[in-house]
Structure 1
Amino acid sequence: MLSIRPSTKKPSSPSSSASCSLNLLPCRIAQTGPCDASSKHWIVETDGKAQQTAYFRGRKLVSSPLVLPSTHTGAVLDITQDILPTSNSDGRQRGLDEDDDFEQDADLPVEVKAVDELARFDQISVWGHEVMVNKMEDVVIKGVEEWVSVSGRMNSWEGE
């Protein structure tokens, strides 16, 4: 199980800002952290139709915005090795030497790892080569839209 907490990284770090811009490029880049995207390498232009284009290493890219609904917030997370103390159903902390009743799943200790929230986002720019990404065929766009639909149903109750 994971527990999200605010970032413990230094506030001066570029990745610890309150919000960020996510870009999903149609290529593989051997970089997993923040980068200094200077104007020499990344210039995003917007035309009259609100369509964004950019050139990356000489290849034309066109953006399709994927906006999250106002009921959802995207987060950039960093899974840490910190394990949070667990408690049982009556709120007391469990010790390793306690006599556990393994017949009930609710009383089993659960390892909870801390996850640092580095930044938040409300939109993802999905880039395609030369043309906008087909929203009906792109697995990322379909996956996010399906997750939003499923999470809405999981977190609601429809009475009779």
Structure 2
Amino acid sequence: MPNPILKLVEPEKSSDDKPATTTTTTPHMLPCRIHHDGPVEPVQSFWDPRVEEDGTKTAYFRGRKLIGKTVKLPEGYRGVVAAAAGTEIKDRRPEDDGNGVDDLEGEGQPELGKLQLQAEFDEMVIWGHEATVDVSADPYVRGMEEWLDLANQIHSYTTTPSTEK
């Protein structure tokens, strides 16, 4: 099996040596682009979604009405929010190809990308302008469903009947 190129790492321990706990969150997929990637406080002053009787959510963002629908992840999957945590150099040794010849292709020490776990989720809210998003056509939901379908096909094993006579 090839070496991984990306590693998900747990949050580091706090200063009092207690294990770090992962928070649970609900990501919101907004139909807009925000050119800011830092903290925003207090969020409640401009983001206060309300739950309607039919289970949808309604919010106003910069004067635009948004209607959100909660989408749960399939059973057995977990969503994570992660942030880049740098890279580390892996110790790479030449691989033996079985003929006593070392594979020296790609010499050097490849970098292993690291992502630090920030939070976990089991549902997300998909927002649409003025109307409930059509989850069958939404690119985020379709992308998630197609990725899960592909992952299931890659990791499933089919048994073929023996052709012995």
TM-score (norm 1): 0.76
Distance 2:38 2:61 in 1: 18
Q: Which aligned segments of 4 or more residues in structure 1 are displaced greater than 6 angstroms?
A: none
Distance 2:103 2:59 in 1: 60
Number of equivalenced pairs: 146
Counterpart of 2:103 in structure 1 is 101
Does residue 20 of the first structure (1) align with residue 22 of the second (2)?
A: no
Distance 1:77 1:67 in 2: 19
SS at match of 1:39: helix
1:41 positional shift:
0.8
Counterpart of 1:72 in structure 2 is 77
Tell me the alpha carbon deviations over residues 68-116 of structure 1, each in whole angstroms, 9 at most, x when there is no partner: 11211111112222315345599xxxxxxxx95236x9x9964322221
Tell me the alpha carbon deviations over residues 7-64 of structure 1, each in whole angstroms, 9 at most, x when there is no partner: 23869xxxx8521120111111112244335332111111111111111112110002
| Residues 10-159 of structure 1 aligned to structure 2 (within 5 Å) | 17-86=22-91, 101-102=103-104, 110-159=110-159
Distance 1:73 1:86, change over 3 A: farther
Distance 1:9 1:32 in 2: 25
Distance 2:42 2:131 in 1: 22
Distance 2:46 2:40 in 1: 11
CA contact (8 A) 2:28 2:125 kept: yes
Unmatched segments (≥5 aa) in structure 2: 16-20, 96-100, 161-165
* Percent identity of paired positions between Structure 1 and Structure 2: 28
Greater shift after overlay, 107-116 or 133-142?
Answer: 107-116
Unmatched segments (≥5 aa) in structure 1: 91-98
